């Protein structure tokens, strides 16, 4: 099953998005990597790397969802340093919350990493009302 | 020529300059960002300073690579991966060297700036650190090409970086957090362009 790493400047936002995803897809592996070690706002290389390693142990592909700015750049560096270790980990550009929920539901149904990634991307075009 | 020991000394000076300007950089970021640029840079250079003693005897490339890794892993904001990549790229260019001259420094800056562009996908004119970096590099190339001494080359770089910082006041941010402000970012100087000026000045003062 595809697993997830949620990268945010905010610990509570990452945890909250994880919680929302698990409501509909409780069996999907997901790690929240939010905030700095001191509890402040920001993105932490080490935290992201550890979350990816953890999810790697229990998934066959990892989708990494980021909020903005350094979340994307730091994740990119973690993935570059990881090289092409398996399972494969990819970043997706999508709305943080909606993309997480849509993609976790897709993963719960056993979809491939590619399909799960597409589900996250498609969330950008969804109208809420 | 600048040897490894001098590079370590320069990094200490850069750390001191960042500390001295931390509040100023954070205040600039409060106006068009999230109020943390000075805090971020100071956190990064604190780690760099802690690691300096362990780097004595290493070549310039190894020193700068470690500095880059420290910044990536401790800064916590966009300036972390950006300056981190810059120092790592500069370090890769200086791999194995125990001494560098102005031509090396210029080649390292060129690599560093390429790294910032690769990481942040910005170009000149988007109100980022590149707006002081690129003019500084161009001015240094020109001064070095005209046969000027190292001190004067660095002075030319600092003057161009100052103009670059000034230029960021008049333009709209289209990258980074300030881009959320759109036109309202006009009138404010970019924090990252300013921190680059602070760093370059700290080096220039030593020559
Ligand atoms: N894509 C980019 N390319 C080049 N420079 C950038 C880019 N994004 C931001 N910057 C620079 O980084 C500076 C802000 O650094 P700071 O340490 O405050 O990070 P931040 O914007 O708070 O990070 P985050 O992305 O985590 O919110 C800006 O003033 C700008 O010069
Ligand atoms: Mg900031």
pLDDT in tens, A32-60: 999 999 999 999 999 999 999 999 999 99
Q: Which residues pair with B3 in a beta bridge?
A: B99
Q: Where are the domains of chain A?
A: 1-60+76-83
**Looking at domain A1-60+76-83, which CATH architecture does it have?**
3-Layer(aba) Sandwich (3.40)
Ligand closest to B75 (CA) is 1
The pLDDT score that the predictor gives to residue A61 is 98
Instruction: List Cα–Cα distances, A58 to A30, A31, A61, in angstroms.
Output: 10, 11, 9
- A74 neighbourhood in chain B, CB within 8 Å: 72, 80-81
pLDDT at A2: 98
CA B203–ligand 2 middle distance (angstroms): 24
Ligand 1 lined by B124 (C-beta under 6 Å): no
| Residue B24 and residue B31 in contact, taking contact as beta carbons nearer than 8 Å | no
Per-residue confidence (pLDDT) for residue A45, from 0 to 100: 98
d(CA A21, CA B57): 51
Question: Is B73 within 8 Å of A42 when comparing Cβ atoms?
Answer: no
How far does residue B192's CA lie from ligand 1's centre (Å)? 7
Q: Report all structural domains of chain B as residue ranges with CATH numbers, in order of start.
A: 2-204 (1.25.40.340)
What is the distance between the alpha carbons of residues B135 and B129, in angstroms, rounded to a whole number?
A: 11
Q: Coil, helix or strand for A98?
A: helix
Position B124 scores a pLDDT of: 98
Phi and psi at B69, nearest 5°, equal: -65, -40
Convert the pLDDT of each residue in A87-112 to its tens digit: 999 999 999 999 999 999 999 999 99
Structural contact between residues B170 and B186, judged by C-beta atoms closer than 8 angstroms: yes
Dump strand ranges (E) for B44-112. Answer: 99-100
Strands (DSSP E) contained in A9-129 are 30-34, 62-66, 89-92
Tell me the pLDDT tens digit for each residue of A52-86.
999 999 999 999 999 999 999 999 999 999 999 99
Index of the ligand 1 atom closest to the CA of residue B192: 31
Q: Is the ipTM of this complex over 0.85?
A: yes
- Cross-chain CB nearest to A69 (options B75, B85, B177): B177
Substitution target in B42, B69, B78 with the highest count of A β-carbons within 10 Å is B78
Give pLDDT, residue B149: 97
- Kindly report the average pLDDT of chain B as a whole number: 98
Average of pLDDT values for B123-135? 98
pTM of the model: 0.97
Give residues 66 to 125 of B whose Cβ lies within 8 Å of A. 72-73, 75-78, 80-82, 84-85, 119-120
CA-proximal residue: ligand 1, atom 1 (nearest): B120
- What's the confidence (pLDDT) of residue B129? 98
> Does B77 contact A46 at a Cβ distance shorter than 8 Å?
no
From the CB of B120, is ligand 1 less than 6 Å away?
Answer: yes
Q: What is the DSSP letter of A6?
A: E
Of B76, B120, B176, the CB nearest to A42: B76
């Amino acid at each position: 099953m595809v697993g997830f790493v949620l990268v945010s400047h905010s610990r509570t936002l990452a945890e909250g998005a994880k919680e929302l995803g698990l409501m509909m897809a409780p069996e999907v592996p997901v790690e929240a990597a939010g905030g700095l070690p001191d509890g402040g706002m920001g993105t932490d290389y080490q935290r992201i790397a550890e979350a990816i390693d953890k999810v790697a142990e229990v998934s066959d592909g990892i989708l990494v969802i980021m909020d903005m700015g350094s979340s994307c750049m730091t994740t990119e560096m973690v993935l570059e340093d990881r090289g092409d270790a398996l399972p494969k980990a990819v970043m997706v550009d999508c709305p943080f919350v909606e993309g997480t929920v849509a993609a976790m539901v897709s993963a719960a149904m056993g979809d491939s990493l590619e399909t799960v990634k597409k589900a996250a991307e498609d969330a950008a075009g969804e109208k809420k009302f | 020529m600048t040897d490894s020991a001098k590079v370590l000394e320069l990094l200490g000076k850069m750390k001191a300059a960042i500390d001295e300007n931390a509040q100023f950089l954070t205040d600039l970021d409060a106006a068009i960002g999230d109020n943390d640029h000075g805090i971020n840079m100071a956190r990064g250079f604190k780690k760099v300073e802690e690691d300096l003693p362990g780097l004595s005897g290493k070549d310039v490339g190894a020193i700068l690579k470690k500095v880059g890794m420290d910044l990536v892993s401790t800064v916590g904001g966009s300036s972390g991966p950006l300056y981190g990549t810059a120092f790592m790229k500069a370090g890769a260019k200086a791999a194995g060297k125990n001494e560098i001259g102005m031509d090396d420094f210029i080649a390292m800056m060129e690599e560093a700036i390429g790294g910032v562009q690769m990481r942040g996908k910005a170009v000149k004119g988007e109100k980022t650190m590149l707006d002081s970096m690129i003019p500084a590099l161009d001015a240094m190339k020109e001064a070095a090409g005209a046969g000027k001494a190292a001190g004067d080359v660095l002075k030319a770089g600092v003057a161009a970086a100052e103009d670059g910082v000034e230029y960021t006041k008049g333009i709209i941010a289209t990258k980074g957090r300030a881009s959320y402000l759109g036109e309202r970012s006009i009138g404010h100087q970019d924090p990252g362009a300013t921190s680059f000026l602070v760093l370059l000045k700290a080096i220039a003062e030593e020559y």
